[in-house]
Amino acid sequence: MNYDFEKALIIAKKEFADKLWSPIFLSLLGTFVLAVFAVTYREILLIEQFSQIGRTPLSAVLEGFYSTSLMMTWFGPLVGIALSFDSVIKERKSASLNVLLTHPVFRDTIILGKMLGAVLLLLVVMLISSGISLGTIILLLGAKVSAMELSRIAVWFILTFLYALVFLGIGLVCSIYVREATDSLVYNIVIWLTLSIMFSWILTFLSYSLEPVVSAGVQDITDSLLALSPMHHYAELSTGKTGLGWGAGGGSYGRDSMEGILDIRFTLAQWLKEFWTNLVVLFIAPLILLIAAYLKFLREDISA
């Protein structure tokens, strides 16, 4: 490799600061944090109502994170998109890439630095939102958090971060392939709507459309298509549901089924055995996207 890691860190710091103090990003962050607080507060009210009629959850702390999972499913990808959709485009438009490359800075150093900056800021955002959710639950319920609950929340946090990281990778790839920031944003929004919000509805519509034509195997087709959505894998890992998008429906599949990492009726080993394929996909998907963006940038024409 030709990159100098210290120079990559300098670029990462600049990328981190530029994104952090962007008015658009700050507005999105504020809205996102308020939304997380709102859904957590609503979940706490529901927990208290159910407790009054004798339906006390096994863990009120973890129960509060189910609604947070829904919020992360819908809007976590937007944070990843906001951090990456114009990362390369804005540098190309301002011709700053040409200036950088006149100095002893290699292409791989630049793209590595931009990736590190965006990933670190995404990590900070996920920490803040998760901290808001946990803090709200502790303060309003007065609940104590056990080591077991903290371990479940830590795993949930990693899953949520990986899910948002998928869309950061998608945004970075689009930023390299597309020449205009507006076009890149539109493509990313369409991908987000398709894979996270409307995917369940699309598959339902597809199954009803194919049923008169295909006599058998419709369910197998839709089950296979589910694997294309990172939302599906995150939903199963966090809540045990096949989807959390529009049309996915609510409620549990049954008291005997595992409801994701937040379900303390089952051990972590049982959870891993049940959902290990989803976990592998959620780890590999962002890695593939980031590698694709890295390799494409090395061969990209950086002229405006």
**280: phi then psi, degrees, rounded to nearest 5:** -60, -45
Are 78 and 28 in contact by the 8 Å Cβ rule? The answer is yes
Average pLDDT of the chain to the nearest whole number = 81
The span from the CA of 76 to the CA of 221, in Å, is 28
Q: With bands split at pLDDT 50, 70 and 90, how would you rate the model's confidence at 136? A: confident
pLDDT surpasses 60 at 101: no
Q: Which of 266, 263, 239, 234 is nearest to 250 (CA)?
A: 239
The span from the CA of 210 to the CA of 90, in Å, is 44
Global pTM reads 0.86
Where are the domains positioned within the chain?
1-299
Helix or strand holding residue 101 (H, E)? helix 96-101
Q: Is 206 exposed, middle or buried (0-12, 13-18, 19+ CB in 10 A)?
A: middle
The span from the CA of 274 to the CA of 180, in Å, is 43
Q: With bands split at pLDDT 50, 70 and 90, how would you rate the model's confidence at 251? A: very low
